């Protein structure tokens, strides 16, 4: 017999689950993000009559306060937007290399030196310190999205983030652990102090954490829009901070930064349409190539999670990532990228035909045509009552980016320069890529793997999906989409199902430790695959739309400690 208290607890958990849970149903609108306070901010904007773009802008600013691991105003990202008429577009607010950047800026006598990163681990220097910071794009991107497609006044969208920063919020478990780690281990003063209270003590689990300097920066952005970040007080302090601390970003870099609206990458899988991010993200091109390859497989005869299944996935991933390494980079600097060919069904057929279902191919850094990085990025998915949909992924590159920032401004700078190819001409079996399209040049955008995606059916959004995870992003988005479209899984099941990752080089399969059986692993090893375990891959945030019953199904990945799908 359950006691009265147990019943009460059960009721409480049930009532809470109606508001925010890993899997949520709603009819009028929904936001699924890595942080429940931010999802709530977005839904409140929808309830006030804002559209999906308005809710996304508000959610992105709120995440910059409540999910500082990756939510940001000091980084960059991408929006894929489909409006209720089926018009689809994207906004590129990827960071850019500063004007003073050069192809060999991280090299010492031709070598890429190593240093110690924020987490006390050895890392190459292109991810460390102020030189690793790309010119931030987030504020420009959100502002452009709002100017072109938003509905509510801009200040209303920034205000909730200001209030969260000013009034503070209870520090969740995940952030309290980070706070302790940085205060004890970091040699960057900004990070050591980042989670401190006014009295100098560290904010503990469930204590209120306030960010007054960030609130002031956000107030400038609320009052002056794009210019509140790229001109005036904030820009001056960024430039001054860079100058005093060995960075190379100047006022001119900030003034010149613009977000860019670009046509999406479009593909199909059976009767579904896939809309995703074009270069400078590699996400859309590689995703469509992967889906084209899988369309050629007889999936009815391949059991999900079987040896055959994992082998096939690894082989298609190997080929698509080799193409990524060979061809992709900022499209404004690579005018002849063969995108149409890479995403064509004919090209997929050629790639598919040389897969041997009995043995692993061998990745070879000198033969592209043959066929890890840490990350902290965050994704959210939004839909409004009219059916406008947003898929937004943005990032600081690593968790807490460069870990550096001005104490007067209260936000963290990215370390996105680490996404450029660091050593010209050196492509190695360890995973270094040295091809031309993604070498550092002034004002170039570094190649990304972020893959915010909208899958449509009959011209309407059917699945809105994305994830963090560095180069693993494309593969985890790909498998989640495949799980829904080919294996008929509901979005929450598709997100939590086993994922693998192969990125051509290094030549190995990463797999989720608890989700692949020892027998399957042995069988794959017998086919010459090398397997490496990971605790998890991806932190997907998705919305699936039941187009027949007009119901929204939202799911945040169980890998996410603070994620929430909230609808109304």
For ligand GLY, the binding residues (CB under 6 A) are 375, 377, 395, 397, 419, 448-450, 470, 473
User: For 121, which DSSP code?
Assistant: -
Closest distance between ligand GLY and the C-beta of residue 253, in Å? Answer: 19
Which helix (H) or strand (E) is 526 found in, with range? helix 518-526
Judged by CB, which is closer to ligand GLY: 333, or 568?
Answer: 333
In the complex, minimum distance from the CB of residue 188 to ligand GLY, in angstroms, rounded to a whole number: 20
3-class SS letters over 438-501: HECCCCCECCECCCCEEEEECCEEEEEECCCCCCHHHHHHHHHHHHHHCCCCCHHHHHHCCCEE
- CB of residue 397 to ligand GLY, shortest distance in Å: 4
**Distances 240 to 204, 229, 249 between C-alpha atoms, Å:** 32, 14, 9
Task: Round to whole Å and give the CA distance between 169 and 207.
Answer: 8
Residue 344 Cβ vs ligand GLY, minimum distance, rounded to whole Å: 24
In the bound state, the residue with its beta carbon closest to ligand GLY is: 448
Rg, the chain, Cα only: 22
Closest to ligand GLY by CB, 273 or 557: 557
Whether 377 sits among the annotated catalytic residues: the reply is: yes
Say how far apart CA 487 and CA 507 lie, in whole Å. Answer: 27
CB of 448 to ligand GLY, least distance (A): 3
Q: Which of 380, 321, 440, 401 is nearest to 57 (CA)?
A: 380
Query: Which residue lies nearer to ligand GLY by CB, 323 or 419?
Result: 419
Q: Are strands 531-534 and 509-512 parallel, antiparallel or unpaired?
A: parallel
Nearest approach in angstroms of CB 473 to ligand GLY is 6
Q: Which residues of 456-468 are buried (b: 16+ CB within 10 A; e: fewer)?
A: beeebbbbbbbbb
What is the distance between the alpha carbons of residues 161 and 158, in angstroms, rounded to a whole number? 6
Residue 470 Cβ vs ligand GLY, minimum distance, rounded to whole Å: 5
* Nearest residue (CB) to ligand GLY, 203 versus 467: 467
Question: Which is the catalytic residue, given 88, 138, 250, 377?
Answer: 377
Smallest distance, ligand GLY to C-beta of residue 326, A: 17
Tokens 């007009």 belong to residue: 550
Mapped onto helix, strand or coil, the DSSP state of residue 186 is coil
As a residue count, the chain comes to: 568
Residues 6+ apart with CB under 8 A from 97: 134, 135, 417, 420, 440, 441, 442, 443, 444, 445, 446
Q: Which residue lies nearer to ligand GLY by CB, 46 or 118?
A: 118
d(CA 26, CA 18): 10
Query: Which residues are within 8 A (CB) of 6 and not within 5 positions of it... i.e. 6 or more apart?
Result: none
Which of residues 302 and 473 has its CB atom nearest to ligand GLY in the complex? 473
Q: Based on CB atoms, which residue is closest to ligand GLY, 397 or 557?
A: 397
Residue closer to ligand GLY by CB (options 220, 397) is: 397
Cα→Cα distances 149→40, 146, 546, Å: 21, 5, 25
* Catalytic positions: 377
């Amino acid at each position: 017999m359950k006691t009265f208290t147990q019943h009460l607890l059960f009721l409480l958990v049930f009532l809470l689950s109606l508001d925010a849970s890993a899997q949520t149903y709603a009819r009028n609108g929904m936001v699924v993000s890595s942080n429940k306070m931010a999802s709530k901010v977005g839904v409140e904007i929808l309830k006030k009559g804002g559209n999906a773009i308005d809710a996304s802008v508000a959610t992105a600013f709120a995440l910059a306060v409540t999910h500082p691991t990756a939510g940001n105003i000091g980084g960059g990202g991408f929006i894929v937007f489909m409006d209720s008429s089926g018009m689809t577009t994207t906004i590129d607010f990827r960071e850019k290399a500063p004007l003073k950047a050069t192809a060999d800026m991280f090299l010492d006598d031709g070598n890429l030196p190593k240093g110690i990163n924020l987490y006390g681990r050895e890392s190459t220097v292109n991810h460390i310190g102020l030189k690793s910071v790309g010119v931030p794009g987030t504020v420009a991107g959100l502002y452009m999205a709002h100017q072109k497609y938003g509905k509510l006044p801009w200040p209303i969208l920034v205000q909730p983030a200001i209030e969260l920063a000013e009034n503070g919020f209870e520090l969740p478990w995940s952030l309290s652990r980070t706070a302790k780690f940085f205060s004890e281990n970091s040699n960057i003063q900004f990070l050591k102090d980042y989670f401190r209270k006014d009295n100098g003590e560290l904010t503990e689990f469930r204590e209120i954490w306030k960010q007054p300097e960030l609130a002031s920066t956000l107030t400038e952005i609320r009052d002056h829009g794009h210019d509140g970040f790229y001109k005036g007080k904030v820009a001056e302090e960024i430039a001054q901070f860079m100058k005093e601390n060995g960075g190379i970003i100047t006022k001119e870099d900030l003034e010149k930064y613009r977000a860019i609206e670009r046509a999406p990458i479009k593909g199909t899988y059976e009767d579904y349409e896939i809309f995703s991010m074009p270069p400078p993200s590699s996400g859309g091109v590689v995703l469509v190539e992967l889906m084209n390859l899988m369309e050629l497989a007889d999936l009815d005869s391949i059991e999900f999670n079987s040896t055959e299944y994992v082998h096939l996935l690894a082989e298609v991933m190997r080929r698509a990532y080799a193409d990524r390494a060979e061809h992709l980079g900022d499209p404004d600097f690579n005018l002849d990228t063969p995108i149409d060919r890479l995403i064509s069904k004919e090209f997929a057929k050629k790639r598919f035909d040389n897969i041997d279902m009995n043995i692993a191919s061998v990745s070879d850094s000198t033969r592209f045509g043959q066929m890890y990085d840490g990350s902290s990025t965050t994704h959210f998915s939004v839909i409004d009552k009219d059916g406008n949909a947003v898929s937004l992924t943005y990032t600081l590159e690593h968790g807490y980016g460069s870990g550096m920032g001005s104490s007067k401004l209260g936000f963290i700078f990215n370390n996105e320069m680490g996404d450029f190819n660091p050593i010209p001409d050196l492509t190695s079996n360890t995973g270094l890529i040295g091809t031309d399209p993604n070498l550092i040049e002034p004002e170039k955008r570094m190649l990304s793997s972020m893959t915010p995606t909208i899958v449509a059916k009959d011209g309407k959004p059917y699945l809105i999906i994305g994830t963090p995870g560095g180069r693993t992003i494309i593969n985890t988005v790909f498998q989640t989409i495949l799980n829904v479209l080919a294996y008929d899984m509901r979005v929450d099941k598709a997100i939590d199902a086993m994922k693998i990752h192969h990125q051509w080089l290094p030549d190995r399969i990463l797999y989720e430790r608890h989700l692949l059986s020892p027998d399957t692993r042995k069988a794959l090893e017998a086919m010459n695959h090398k397997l490496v375990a990971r605790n998890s891959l991806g932190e997907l945030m998705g919305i699936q739309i039941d187009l027949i019953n007009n119901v929204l199904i939202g799911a945040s990945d169980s890998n996410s400690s603070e994620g929430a799908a909230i609808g109304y």
